[in-house]
C-alpha cells in the first residue's frame, strides 16, 4: 500500500517545474455537451481501471511542460473555435501542481465554466486548497470517487 499524498509529492517532482506543468494533449471533447480539455500527466493513485495508465505510471516519458498562460490560452482557443462554454483539466490528477492550477483558473474568463475533475485527495488533505478554489465563481469541482473500500478500489469492472 502507499500514501497518496506522499506519492503526489513525488509525482510533482517529475511533472512540475516552477509554474509549469506537464500535459500530454489538448483537445475538444463531447463530454458535458462539448468541452475543451487539457490532459495533464501524473497522478497520486494507481487505479486498476485507469484509462490513462501509461501516463500515470511513466510520467517522465509523456507530455511536455506548459505555463499557465499556455494552458489557458489553448483551452480558450479550443472553446471559442468549437463554441464551447466549458473547459477542463483531466487525464490524470490536476490538483498536483497547485500554484500552476490556480494560475490557470485565474486566466479563464468568468463566462467560461471550468470543470475540475479530481480524485479530491489533495483538496481533502489541505483545507486551504478548498478555500483557494472557492474564490473562483466559474469553477465546478467534480470529485471522481474511486471506491468506498480497498476491494472496490482495486476491482476491475467488467467491460
Cell of 18: 516552477
In the chain, domain spans: 4-154
Q: Which helix (H) or strand (E) holds 23?
A: strand 20-29
- Reduced to 3 states (helix: H, G, I; strand: E, B; else coil), residue 62 is coil
Strand 20-29 versus strand 16-17 pairing type? antiparallel
Q: Which residue has the higher pLDDT, 158 or 31?
A: 31
Does the pTM surpass 0.75? The reply is yes
Q: What is the rounded distance in angstroms from the CA atom of residue 159 to the CA atom of residue 155?
A: 12
CATH number attached to the domain at 4-154 = 3.20.20.70
How many angstroms separate the first and last alpha carbons of the chain?
26
- Going by pLDDT thresholds of 50, 70 and 90, the confidence category of residue 46 is confident
**Average pLDDT of the residues in 96-123:** 97
- The pLDDT tens digits for 47-87 are 777 778 788 889 999 999 999 999 999 999 999 999 999 99
Q: Are the CB atoms for 15 and 41 separated by under 8 Å? A: yes
pLDDT of 101 reads 98
What is the percent of the chain where pLDDT is above 90?
77
pLDDT of 154 reads 61
Residue 33, phi-psi category: left (phi > 0), alpha (psi -120 to 50), beta (remainder): left
Amino acid at each position: 500500500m502507499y500514501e497518496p499524498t506522499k506519492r503526489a509529492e513525488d509525482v510533482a517532482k517529475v511533472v512540475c517545474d516552477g509554474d509549469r506543468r506537464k500535459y500530454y494533449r489538448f483537445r475538444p471533447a463531447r463530454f458535458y455537451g462539448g468541452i475543451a480539455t487539457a490532459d495533464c500527466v501524473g497522478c497520486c493513485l494507481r487505479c486498476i481501471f485507469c484509462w490513462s495508465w501509461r501516463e500515470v505510471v511513466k510520467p517522465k516519458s509523456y507530455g511536455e511542460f506548459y505555463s499557465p498562460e499556455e494552458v489557458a490560452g489553448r483551452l480558450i482557443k479550443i472553446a471559442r473555435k468549437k463554441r464551447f462554454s466549458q473547459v477542463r483539466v483531466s487525464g490524470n490528477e490536476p490538483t498536483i501542481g497547485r500554484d500552476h492550477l490556480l494560475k490557470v483558473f485565474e486566466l479563464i474568463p468568468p463566462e467560461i465554466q471550468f470543470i475540475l475533475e479530481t480524485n479530491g485527495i489533495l483538496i481533502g488533505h489541505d483545507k486551504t486548497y478548498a478555500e483557494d478554489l472557492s474564490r473562483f465563481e466559474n469553477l465546478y469541482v467534480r470529485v471522481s470517487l474511486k471506491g468506498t473500500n480497498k476491494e472496490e478500489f482495486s476491482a476491475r469492472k467488467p467491460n
